[in-house]
């Protein structure tokens, strides 16, 4: 009964989305107040219906209702409760429903936090969101219905993919989807602004916090996925340039460009067309990501949820969304105007360089991801593009970006002086150079890439601190330094924290890339292997029972200076229902390094308690990679708590000139 209720709610949401979408947009166009007034309650009703549908599916999972095909395929009565709840998004149909749920909640949030938005603008934003929702609902109902029944039901479910039975799964997809789908709000604001012709500083100010929130979720989602791959897949890497990873990274790169471009549009009124284009691109790339992951066109580790027939629908949807918004852009953009002029070297030109570099980076990732598909589609053979391509093109694009990150905050709007900035920053550059040349020798050897990475990380840190101190000193008057620092606007704190996060991230990437060590060895009970000063003594393997699996559990002593530091317990699991083997790595995490042990397989299959193939890793600074991402997100969070976003609308009509003074 409950699955039918969910199915009914989902069906009902389809006409609601269509009706609200069309009426809100038409109402705003023709200035019909009753139609415009419909947008808010309409979007709220849509959110309610989708939430009901989602909860019904969750209930079917909790109650082990194996007469629902989707539940039977992705759950099992032995599955622990938390994984039954998370199992809702463990497959294709459910993850699309989660996508839809997020979209309806974003629209709901817009209705709550938009009291100061003019009613026609709000109607256009919500109308656009509802039309996107309509497309997705149609897709779910026509091709991927999670509520389909099989009667009589099966006695036992197939179980959730063991890879997904991990706390990482509970958090990673929802975070990522919140980010993906969050760009729909920035997109809806851009479309609304194009429709109304109101592309101004107020528009940039409205869409900025929404964009930042989506970006925060996406940053955390990607970092979470990377961390999950690191400890769960047992490969010890943090990024593989897998097509699905790229699919989430492209919207992030463009989203980052959008954040910086919005800053210029808000403060100076420039870059308006470019900002709109970025907003459209960010959401289009999110849709492209969904298409790539869900259509089955990719060979990747994420291929557990694939079906080529569905790809055609998403592709058509993608073409419609991108085509319609680009057509709107071409039609409206010429009337937008250029905004404030700026000099060859200025805050604007530096942010433009940032945007161009991020866009080029996105283009190279797109090329590497889609090229194999293109070659395959043209029947020219099957190829793959390896990580060396991405590494080779990424470093030269990112290096100038990271260098300019240190310069940007010092440059004035309109016109900046190179000489003045050079005078201010020459010592920072000198110190960064010394660090880059000397510090690597503490770790044994110097390589150009390690030197470059440390140079840039130190440079970003020093310039951020310098800028922060300079600004506090300039505004402190008689107050103490700390008091004056705390009085600085939150967007200022946020920016520097996020930039410091980038520096921390760069340190992590550089050190892991330069000094990680890996050994695959054969070990019997009592054997010891040494990696980068850490000794691992293998004590043996025992059989243990889990709730829905049997595991061979290894016991490994980590020795430091000959003394036992910690006991590590890597596992090799076999899940009852699917008989899939799974590696659970054991990691001793630390601020300056991780050490990592995972079990391969028994040397002799008939003697699983004897010798094993074991993999050990030494990973210096690897946790800084994710720590840096957390800092970036925290910076974003602090920035949107800035006072000026609280009075959005009332001050939204202020001229760019007034804003420039702020």
Partner 1 sequence: MKARHKRIALILGALAALGLIAAFVLNALNDNLAFFYSPTDVKDGKAPQNKVFRIGGLVQNGTLTRQPDGVTMAFVVTDTIHDIPVRYKGILPDLFQEGKGVVAQGKLGEDGIFTANEVLAKHDENYMPPEAAQALEKAHQAGSGDAGAKTVIPAGGTEPAAAPRK
Which of 59, 145, 196, 306 lies at the binding interface for partner 1 (CB under 8 A)? 306
Rounded distance between C-alpha atoms, residue 195 and residue 26, angstroms: 11
Site for partner 1 contains 583 (CB under 8 A): yes
**CB-based contact 201:269 (threshold 8 Å):** yes
Site for partner 1 contains 48 (CB under 8 A): no
- CB 163, min distance to partner 1, A: 5
* Cβ atoms within 10 Å, residue 412: 15
Using the rule CB under 8 A, give the single segment among 86-94, 124-132, 463-471, 593-601 that binds partner 1: 593-601
* Cα–Cα nearest to 153, from 75, 66, 76: 66
- CB 234, min distance to partner 1, A: 8
* Paired residues of 226 in beta bridges: none
Which of 62, 393, 449, 550 lies at the binding interface for partner 1 (CB under 8 A)? 393
Question: Which phi and psi (to 5°) does residue 290 adopt?
Answer: -60, -45
Site for partner 1 in 331-360 (CB under 8 A): 344, 360
Site for partner 1 contains 161 (CB under 8 A): yes
Site for partner 1 contains 163 (CB under 8 A): yes
Q: Which is nearer to partner 1, 340 or 387 (CB)?
A: 387
Q: Which is nearer to partner 1, 151 or 344 (CB)?
A: 344
Site for partner 1 contains 517 (CB under 8 A): no
- CB 266, min distance to partner 1, A: 26
- CB 521, min distance to partner 1, A: 6
Count of residues of this chain found to bind partner 1 when the rule CB under 8 A is applied? 44
Rounded distance between C-alpha atoms, residue 40 and residue 37, angstroms: 7
**CB-based contact 89:98 (threshold 8 Å):** yes
Using the rule CB under 8 A, give the single segment among 174-182, 183-191, 450-458, 611-619 that binds partner 1: 611-619
Q: Hey, CA dihedral for 99, 104, 109, 110, is it positive or negative?
A: positive
Q: Are strands 586-588 and 593-602 parallel, antiparallel or unpaired?
A: antiparallel
- CB 74, min distance to partner 1, A: 12
Which of 541, 611, 632, 640 lies at the binding interface for partner 1 (CB under 8 A)? 611
* Cβ atoms within 10 Å, residue 477: 6
Q: How far apart are the first and last CA of the chain?
A: 59
Site for partner 1 contains 581 (CB under 8 A): yes
**CB-based contact 186:259 (threshold 8 Å):** no
**CB-based contact 195:124 (threshold 8 Å):** yes
Q: Which is nearer to partner 1, 17 or 582 (CB)?
A: 582
**Residue 478: C-alpha distances to residues 243, 258, 473 (Å):** 55, 38, 10
- CB 161, min distance to partner 1, A: 7
Which of 63, 77, 304, 377 lies at the binding interface for partner 1 (CB under 8 A)? 304
**CB-based contact 635:498 (threshold 8 Å):** yes
Triad 15, 18, 22: Cα angle to 5° = 140
Rounded distance between C-alpha atoms, residue 41 and residue 349, angstroms: 43
Site for partner 1 in 364-383 (CB under 8 A): 364, 367-368, 371, 381-383
Question: Rg (Cα) of the chain, in Å, rounded?
Answer: 27
Which of 396, 444, 448, 526 lies at the binding interface for partner 1 (CB under 8 A)? 396
- Where on the chain is the footprint of partner 1 (CB under 8 A)? 161, 163, 234, 296, 299, 301, 303-304, 306, 308, 344, 360, 364, 367-368, 371, 381-386, 388-389, 392-393, 396-397, 520-522, 578-583, 598, 600-601, 603, 611, 613, 615
């Amino acid at each position: 009964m409950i699955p039918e209720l969910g199915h009914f709610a989902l069906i009902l949401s389809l006409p609601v989305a269509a009706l609200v979408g069309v009426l809100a947009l038409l109402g705003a166009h023709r200035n019909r107040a009753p139609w415009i007034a419909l947008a808010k309650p309409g979007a709220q009703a849509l959110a309610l219906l989708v939430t009901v549908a989602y909860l019904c599916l969750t209930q079917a999972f909790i109650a082990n209702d194996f007469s629902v095909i989707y539940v039977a395929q992705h759950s099992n009565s032995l599955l622990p409760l938390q994984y039954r709840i998370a199992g809702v998004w463990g497959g294709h149909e459910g993850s699309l429903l989660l996508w839809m749920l997020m979209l309806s909640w974003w629209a709901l949030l817009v209705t709550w936090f938009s009291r100061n938005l003019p009613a026609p603008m709000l109607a256009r934003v919500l109308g656009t969101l509802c039309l996107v929702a309509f497309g997705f609902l149609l897709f779910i109902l026509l091709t991927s219905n999670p509520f389909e029944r099989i009667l009589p039901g099966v006695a036992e479910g197939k179980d959730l993919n063991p890879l997904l039975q991990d706390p990482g799964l509970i958090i990673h997809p929802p975070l990522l989807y919140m980010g993906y789908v969050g760009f729909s709000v920035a997109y809806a604001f851009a479309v609304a602004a194009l429709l109304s012709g109101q592309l101004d500083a107020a528009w940039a100010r409205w869409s900025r916090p929404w964009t930042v929130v989506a970006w925060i979720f996406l940053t955390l989602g990607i970092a979470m996925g990377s961390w999950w791959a690191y400890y769960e897949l047992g490969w010890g890497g943090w990024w593989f340039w897998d097509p699905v990873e790229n699919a989430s990274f492209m919207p992030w790169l463009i989203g980052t460009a959008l954040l910086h471009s919005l800053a210029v549009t808000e403060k100076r009124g420039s870059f308006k067309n470019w900002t709109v284009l970025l907003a459209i691109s960010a959401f289009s790339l999110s849709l492209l990501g969904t298409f790539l992951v869900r259509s089955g066109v990719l060979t990747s580790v994420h291929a557990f949820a694939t079906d080529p027939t569905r790809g055609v629908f998403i592709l058509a949807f993608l073409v419609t969304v991108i085509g319609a918004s680009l057509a709107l852009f071409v039609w409206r953009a010429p009337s937008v105007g250029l905004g404030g002029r700026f000099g060859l070297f200025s805050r604007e030109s530096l942010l433009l360089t940032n945007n161009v570099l991020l866009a080029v980076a996105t283009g190279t990732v797109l090329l590497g991801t889609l090229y194999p598909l293109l070659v395959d589609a043209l029947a020219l053979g099957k190829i793959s593009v390896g990580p060396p391509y991405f590494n080779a093109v990424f470093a030269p694009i990112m290096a100038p970006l990271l260098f300019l990150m240190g310069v940007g905050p010092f440059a004035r709007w309109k016109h900046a002086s190179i000489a003045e900035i050079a005078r201010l920053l020459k010592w920072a550059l000198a110190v960064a150079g010394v660090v880059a040349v000397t510090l690597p020798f503490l770790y044994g050897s110097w390589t150009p890439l390690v030197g470059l990475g440390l140079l840039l990380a130190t440079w970003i840190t020093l310039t951020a601190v310098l800028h922060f101190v300079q600004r506090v000193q300039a505004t402190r008057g008689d107050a103490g330094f700390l008091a004056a620092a705390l009085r600085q606007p939150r967007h200022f704190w946020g920016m520097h924290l996020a930039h410091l996060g980038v520096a921390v991230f760069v340190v992590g990437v550089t050190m892991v890339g330069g000094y990680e060590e890996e050994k695959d060895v054969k070990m019997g009970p009592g054997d010891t292997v040494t990696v980068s000063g850490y000794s691992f003594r293998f004590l043996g393997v025992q059989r243990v029972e889990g709730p829905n699996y049997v595991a061979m559990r290894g016991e490994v002593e980590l020795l430091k200076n000959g003394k036992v530091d910690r006991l590590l317990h890597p596992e090799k699991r076999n899940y009852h229902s699917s008989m899939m083997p799974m590696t659970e790595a054991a990691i001793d995490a630390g601020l300056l390094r991780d050490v990592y042990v995972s079990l391969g397989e028994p040397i002799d299959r008939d003697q699983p308690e004897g010798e094993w193939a074991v993999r050990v890793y030494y990973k210096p600074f690897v946790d800084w990679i994710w720590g840096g991402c957390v800092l970036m997100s925290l910076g974003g969070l602090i920035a949107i708590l800035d006072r000026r976003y609280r009075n959005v609308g009332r001050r939204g009509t202020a001229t760019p000139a007034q804003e420039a003074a702020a």
